[in-house]
Structure 1
Amino acid sequence: MKSLKFYASILMLLVTVTVFSQNEKDQKIISDAEKAKNKLINTDEGLKDFFSNSSGYVIFPNVGEGALIIGGASGNGAVYENGTLVGMASLKKVDVGLQAGGQEITEVIFFETEDALNEFKQGEYKFTAEASAIAVEKGAAKNANYSDGVIVFTKPKKGLMADLSIGGQKFNYKPIHK
């Protein structure tokens, strides 16, 4: 009986540590997303309007990308609705083509309407090869427009990548329960 209690205690400890570390991981992503938001706005003040006027957005502060013919990328982000944190998201990307290198980027996706945001929040959201991102630089947001209720901006952080490929991005959403 003592050994059963011992193993039950160990199991509870492991569950507690796992939940706590997951929250720590999410907190780091949220903190990095807020820092990334400030850096994006400092680079292009026009992004303030997107952050203020969109129904929602997701910031992936640290997306790692690498390729040699076949490429991939992944990252985790924070999802905001009307400026309020509502969930966490993950990004996975696979592509093929003329590409080589590796880089780390920040990616932010803005949703023009509540319907577009809700489609993302339903989970299993995908961008096809036709979707394109706008590089964040001074003045880039000024003439940028939504396409089907969505617009994507990216900002390279470090590394170098040559890329002429096709593929797609897949996203998953997990709401935050308060």
Structure 2
Amino acid sequence: MQVRKLGVALGVAVSLLAGCTTTGGGHLTTTQANRDATSIANEKREIDSAYDSTLTRLYGNARGSQELVAKAKGVLVFPSVIAAGLVVGAEYGKGALRMEGKPAGYYQTVSGSFGWQIGAQSKAVIFLFMTQDALNKFRTGSGWTVGADASVALLNVGANGEIDLNTAMQPVVGFVMTNSGLMANLTLEGTRITKLDM
């Protein structure tokens, strides 16, 4: 299933690149421009739909997460970050930032991964910017790296099924989910996020 998702993602990337070929004059034809605009609009719709379903899953997995999301100045969701490789691999995904529930840009995340991985694996990554200053620092500049530009407190659920509120007080907090629920004991250190031109 995850391998199929990776194939679809690669297929979309190849088709987007193919749609960017130019004519002899170096300009996109009207047909190519319309195709690109349609592809981008479809991709935005897919990201937005997956964004909503990812938050719904989060709310079902972690009591108190909905209230925490409501308090955040900005919510960045990567619904499907795919990791592929054997010993040294890479992770990639696309997502969206919303502020006060309204779209505020589309982003991509890239990071290296180390360790044995069989095939492709997918996870959802959610960043909550709890202060305006943290959100402003994220939005200004050409890119943002966890660990270098800001630390991210990874949230998990305690034995009582509720979020650990001590870590929830940090300027930037994050959740990582797989199909089986929230992941703990991992780091987002080195994760690089850049804005997509779409």
Shift, 1:174, TM fit: 4.2
* Unpaired segments ≥5 residues, structure 2: 1-24
- TM-score (norm. length: structure 1): 0.77
Give the Cα–Cα distance (whole angstroms) in 1 for the partners of residues 68 and 187 of structure 2. Answer: 28
- TM-score (norm. length: structure 2): 0.70
**Deviations 1:62-92 (CA, angstroms, capped at 9, x unpaired):** 1111343312111011101122211111100
Q: 2:193 is paired with a residue of what secondary structure?
A: strand
The 1:141/1:57 distance shift into structure 2, 3 A limit, reads farther
Give the Cα–Cα distance (whole angstroms) in 2 for the partners of residues 73 and 165 of structure 1. Answer: 13
Equivalent pair of 2:122/2:178 in contact (CA under 8 Å): yes
> Identity rate of aligned residues, in percent?
19
Give the Cα–Cα distance (whole angstroms) in 1 for the partners of residues 130 and 188 of structure 2. Answer: 25
Instruction: Provide the residue aligned with 2:16 in structure 1.
Output: none
Matched, 1:110 2:128: yes
The 1:14/1:151 distance shift into structure 2, 3 A limit, reads same
Larger Rg: 1
- Give 1 or 2: higher strand fraction: 1
Give the Cα–Cα distance (whole angstroms) in 2 for the partners of residues 157 and 119 of structure 1. Answer: 31
* Unpaired segments ≥5 residues, structure 1: 1-6
Select the residue among 163, 179, 186 that pairs with 1:140: 163
What count of residue pairs does the alignment treat as equivalent?
163
Report which structure shows greater RCO (CA 8 Å, sep ≥6). Answer: 1
Instruction: Provide the residue aligned with 2:191 in structure 1.
Output: 169
Q: CA RMSD in A?
A: 3.0
